[in-house]
Amino acid sequence: MRAAVTGVTGYVGGRLVPELLGAGHEVRAISRNPARLAGREWVDDVQAVEADVGDLAAVRRALDGVDVAYYLVHSLGAGRTFEARDRRNALTFAQAARESGVGRVVYLGGLYPDVPEGDLSPHLASRKEVEEILLASGVPTTVLRAAIILGSGSASFEMMRYLTERLPAMTTPRWVDNRIQPIAVRDVLRYLVGSASMPRDVSRGFDIGGPDVLTYRDMMQRYARAAGLPRRLIVGVPVLTPQLSSLWVGLVTPVPSGIARPLVESLQHEVVCHEDDVRRHVPDPPEGLVGVDHAIELALARVHDGEVTTRWTSASVPGAPSDPLPSDPDWAGGSLYVDERRTVVDAPHDVLWRVIEEIGGHRGWYSWSVAWRVRGVLDRLVGGPGLRRGRRDEHRLRVDDALDFWRVEAIEPGRRLLLRAEMRLPGLAWLELRVDEAAAEVTDPDDPGPGPADAAGPARTYFAQRALFHPHGLAGQLYWWSVAPFHGVIFGGMQRNVAREAERLAGHVDR
């Protein structure tokens, strides 16, 4: 079949594409910015199409000639207007699918309890509304309702992981004793792929879950056991509201409160499958569904081996800029401020590049660490991602990877790394790190510049660093000039310490 997938830069969508390809389907990857797919291993095997799910004409063109369309878009963490945005996008997609003659729509929604409409959390109520819109589209539709998805890099798994690892004893809301039925991400993907071939007369929702029904408290204890940690002391208290709980989760884990809150609100309900009818159309594998213990072990192995293909950070931060780096300093009729630094490093080209590509995350930013941490805290206080998103892979970067409060906009292996800021700013910002073995002007007139190796040591490499800022209005101008005095400490220190680390690794510390 020809399958169209929305949300391909997200956690599930990025994993579904290779599964569909492996099942023999043609895949059309729909993205607002197809350039973000450049780092994916499967990008050359798909047809990348640019479309925003809120643009009817663009979505209609993207779905033309498609047999099955996967709707994997939702506005988790997008603020108070997320319900309206999800409703509008779902209505647009449903109309486009109908007018384009799509054979089937497949939607991954949320598992919700059988309670009065007003008792559902806003997040689950929105998921249910999107489900109803798609089922009413006139196109045969499969809705898969899942509770917590267990897999390396998922927001639910990361929230549980960090809470359990960082807090040997904790007070928690009473929802830790509600029953849940989590499902492993590999089973979610199997159901999604299998849904493509359901008969045309099947148009309904299905509950999907793993074989285990347990409480969140039990799941944290099982994680502790799998991770080799002592049993956790967990005390439920009645005073923690969803808002307080999400702030607490945002403080302890890398998951920001804006994303944690809808997850926490959903946990107020018992979410257990009411039926297992999906098995009639997508039979269980011979080895059965993946249980909680095995799912945790698989996820931990992926994290340990650095094989996390997608993370919750794969999706864009709501409200974060996506504009590419301007090539013209007068772009958009405004100023482009530049802080540029350059130095010569007594280390081979590949050693310096290794230091640059491993920057951020646990290794930090090679300069005044307190200032970076304070900036990260301030960013989280105003709704930004802060520094705690870390890295997907400790050693390698690819286009669109989240890197603390940056995102990789471009990477030329061995030569250039361009990061776009996703922190809250009154403007747009980039950080460019470049390696060059060619001769270049340097600030020290007595230094001959990069050149071939001599008897005393390895080749000398040119290292350039640029911070760029395009201000928005007066607030942007004031921001730049208020932080400019600190650039010598932050960016200058970063320049020197990256160079020193490369020289240390090259065994040539004394310049």
Locus of tokens 């776009």: 420
Say whether pLDDT at 445 is over 60.
no
Confidence tier at 39 by pLDDT (50, 70, 90): confident
Say which residue, 173 or 93, is predicted with more confidence.
93
> What is the arithmetic mean of pLDDT over 388-412?
88
Helical H segments across 327-424, by residue range: 349-357, 369-381
State how far the Cα of 366 lies from the Cα of 495, in Å rounded to an integer.
Answer: 8
> What is the arithmetic mean of pLDDT over 87-106?
96
Say which residue, 394 or 93, is predicted with more confidence.
93
Residue 426 DSSP SS3: coil
> What is the arithmetic mean of pLDDT over 444-464?
56
244: which 2 tokens? 């307080």
Output the pLDDT for position 282: 95
Output the pLDDT for position 248: 73
Output the pLDDT for position 382: 77
Max Cα separation, the chain?
79
2-5/68-71 β-pairing? parallel
> What is the arithmetic mean of pLDDT over 7-35?
93
Say whether pLDDT at 427 is over 80.
yes
pLDDT digit string, tens, across residues 468-501? 998 888 888 898 889 888 888 889 899 999 999 9
Confidence tier at 193 by pLDDT (50, 70, 90): very high
- Residue 57 sits at φ, ψ, to 5 deg, of -65, -45
Say whether pLDDT at 318 is over 90.
no
Complete domains list, the chain, with CATH: 2-314 (3.40.50.720), 333-505 (3.30.530.20)
pLDDT digit string, tens, across residues 362-381? 888 998 888 888 888 888 77
Output the pLDDT for position 76: 64
pLDDT digit string, tens, across residues 319-332? 555 555 655 444 44
Output the pLDDT for position 121: 81
Helical H segments across 403-472, by residue range: none
* Vertex 419 angle, CA 326 and 155, to 5°: 130
Say whether pLDDT at 396 is over 50.
yes
Across the chain, mean pLDDT equals 85
Q: Give bridge partners of residue 428 from the DSSP assignment.
A: 470
Say whether pLDDT at 218 is over 60.
yes
State how far the Cα of 43 lies from the Cα of 31, in Å rounded to an integer.
Answer: 12
Output the pLDDT for position 476: 87
pLDDT digit string, tens, across residues 165-174? 888 988 887 7
Say whether pLDDT at 188 is over 60.
yes
438: which 2 tokens? 């060619």
pLDDT digit string, tens, across residues 235-281? 877 766 666 777 777 777 777 777 777 777 777 778 899 999 999 99
Output the pLDDT for position 153: 85
User: 62, 143, 53, 52: which is closest to 89 by C-alpha?
Assistant: 53
Let me know: does 220 contact 177? Beta carbons within 8 Å. no
* Strand locations in 291-405 (E): 337-345, 402-403
Say whether pLDDT at 336 is over 60.
yes
Output the pLDDT for position 358: 93
Confidence tier at 159 by pLDDT (50, 70, 90): confident
How many Cα neighbours within 13 Å face the side chain of 216? 28
Output the pLDDT for position 400: 87
**Cα-Cα-Cα-Cα dihedral of 384, 386, 389, 390, to 10°?**
150
Locus of tokens 């039926």: 275
* DSSP 8-state class, residue 396: -
26-31/47-50 β-pairing? parallel
Output the pLDDT for position 326: 54
Output the pLDDT for position 314: 66
User: 375, 339, 364, 466: which is closest to 355 by C-alpha?
Assistant: 364
Give percent of the chain with pLDDT exceeding 90: 47
Output the pLDDT for position 464: 92
Output the pLDDT for position 390: 83
Locus of tokens 């809808």: 262
Say which residue, 223 or 378, is predicted with more confidence.
223
Element (H, E) at 335: none
Say whether pLDDT at 459 is over 70.
no
**Cα-Cα-Cα-Cα dihedral of 127, 131, 133, 134, to 10°?**
130
State how far the Cα of 44 lies from the Cα of 411, in Å rounded to an integer.
Answer: 17
